[in-house]
Amino acid sequence: MDLNNLPHFDVLPQHIGFIMDGNGRWAKERGLPRYKGHIEGAKTFRKIGEFAGDLGIKYLTFYAFSTENWKRPPDEVAAIMNLFREYLKELDDRKAENEEKGIQVNFIGSKKGLPKDILAMMKYSEKITEDKTKVYLNIAVNYGGREEIVHSVKLIAKLVKKGKLKPDDITEDMISRGLYTAGMPDPDLIIRPSGEKRLSNFLLWQAAYAEFWSSNVLWPDFTEEDLVEALRNFEKRNRRFGGV
């Protein structure tokens, strides 16, 4: 889409969460191995992430690999890990471009079980983009919403054990500060293509008042126009946050 002719919105979400669903089905429909769907899905991730940033959306969180995805066939998991490696290398190759766009990259999720080379590349990518503040790009890798809440609760439990905190003094804000998204606004909008209508363990705490938008389009076929449709729908929502 032409950067000089971007659509205008009266209301934009500060933070969008994307559940990138449908890669496997996309490949199956075409008689291709599942990893081919993930390759096409990775292209869509780049395209939609850049477009959303151009529109002025400051926080983007993409659900790339869940804690449950380890149960998938080993060859599919290996293909996904190789895609991470390619993307991380690309981040380094496109340093100048990302600097111009002001993109800060963050990886959220548990580090346990991830290959050491990927962990090192993730750390490097976060380091070289840590001073960028125009767009905060969160990539959820080995991520699970329940695991994230447990992670936060354990941090609080350690303070209680040391006598630095009383159980009665625990607040929602303390739990939020222990999450992987600490310091970021909660998502205003969760987008899930592929026809499914569930969170699938994604941003469970943060999505308490998020608007939800789903589409029958499989993720590899998701376009800038689909994102515009979701944002037009969001504009019309009456967000009361439990009030009248």
Q: Which of 54, 69, 82, 233 is catalytic?
A: 69
For the segment 133-185, what is each residue's pLDDT rounded down to a tens digit? 999 999 999 999 999 999 999 999 999 999 999 999 999 999 999 999 999 99
Q: Is 17 strand, coil or helix?
A: strand
Instruction: Report the chain's terminal Cα–Cα distance, integer Å.
Output: 38
Give the fold, CATH level 3, of 12-235: Undecaprenyl pyrophosphate synthetase (3.40.1180)
For the segment 46-55, what is each residue's pLDDT rounded down to a tens digit? 999 999 999 9
Predicted TM-score (pTM) of the model is: 0.94
For the segment 194-230, what is each residue's pLDDT rounded down to a tens digit? 999 999 999 999 999 999 999 999 999 999 999 999 9
Handedness of CA 10, 140, 198, 174 (dihedral sign): negative
pLDDT at 244 over 60: no
Instruction: In whole angstroms, give the CA distance from residue 169 to residue 186.
Output: 23
21 among known catalytic residues:
yes
Query: Residue 31: which pLDDT band, with cuts at 50, 70 and 90?
Result: very high
Query: Pairing state of beta strands 189-192 and 135-143?
Result: unpaired
Q: Which of 21, 186, 188, 226 is catalytic?
A: 21
69 among known catalytic residues:
yes
In the chain, where the domains are located: 12-235
